[in-house]
């Protein structure tokens, strides 16, 4: 199944899932039933995962108002690695 995008002049864009290769050039709008032409767009760019959209928003905010660091981070003790092979590595 593929997602095809159509744009109604009255209602705006909408998507329809159809088998690959079965989409027509014009489809009836589900809201107003007027013919809507097919629009070719990049796939799944409007469906960004939450983690990605959060990271993009934080990065964009950082351009305008970056976080200012006022001190060094605390040097807490990290627990030793759980894997036995990693325990033999030198520690800083």
Is residue 57 domain-resident?
no
Return the exposure string of 64-86: e unless at least 16 CB atoms fall within 10 Å of the residue's CB, then b.
eeeeeeeeeeeeeeeeeeeeeee
State the average pLDDT over residues 40-45: 72
For the chain, the straight-line distance linking the first and the last C-alpha, in angstroms and rounded, comes to 53
Condensed to tens digits (0 to 9), the pLDDT of residues 44-92 reads 666 778 888 888 888 888 888 877 888 887 777 777 667 888 778 887 6
Q: pTM for the complete prediction?
A: 0.48
Is residue 86, in this structure, part of any structural domain at all?
Answer: no
For residue 62, being part of any structural domain is answered with no
- Residue 20 domain-assigned (yes or no): yes
Q: Is residue 18 part of a domain?
A: yes
What is the CB neighbour count within 10 angstroms for residue 8? 19
Q: 29: domain range?
A: 2-39
Does residue 45 fall inside a structural domain? no
Q: Give how many domains the chain has, as a whole number.
A: 1
22 or 79: which leads in pLDDT: 22
- Burial bucket for residue 40 (CB in 10 Å: 0-12, 13-18, 19+): exposed
């Amino acid at each position: 199944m593929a997602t095809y995008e159509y744009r109604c002049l009255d209602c705006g864009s909408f998507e329809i899932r159809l088998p690959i290769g079965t989409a027509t050039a014009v489809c009836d709008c589900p809201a107003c039933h007027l013919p809507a032409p097919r629009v070719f767009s990049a796939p799944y760019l409007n469906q960004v995962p939450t983690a990605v959209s959060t990271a993009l928003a934080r990065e964009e905010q950082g351009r305008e108002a970056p976080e200012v660091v006022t001190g060094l981070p605390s040097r807490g003790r990290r627990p030793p690695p759980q894997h036995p092979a990693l325990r033999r590595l030198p520690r800083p």
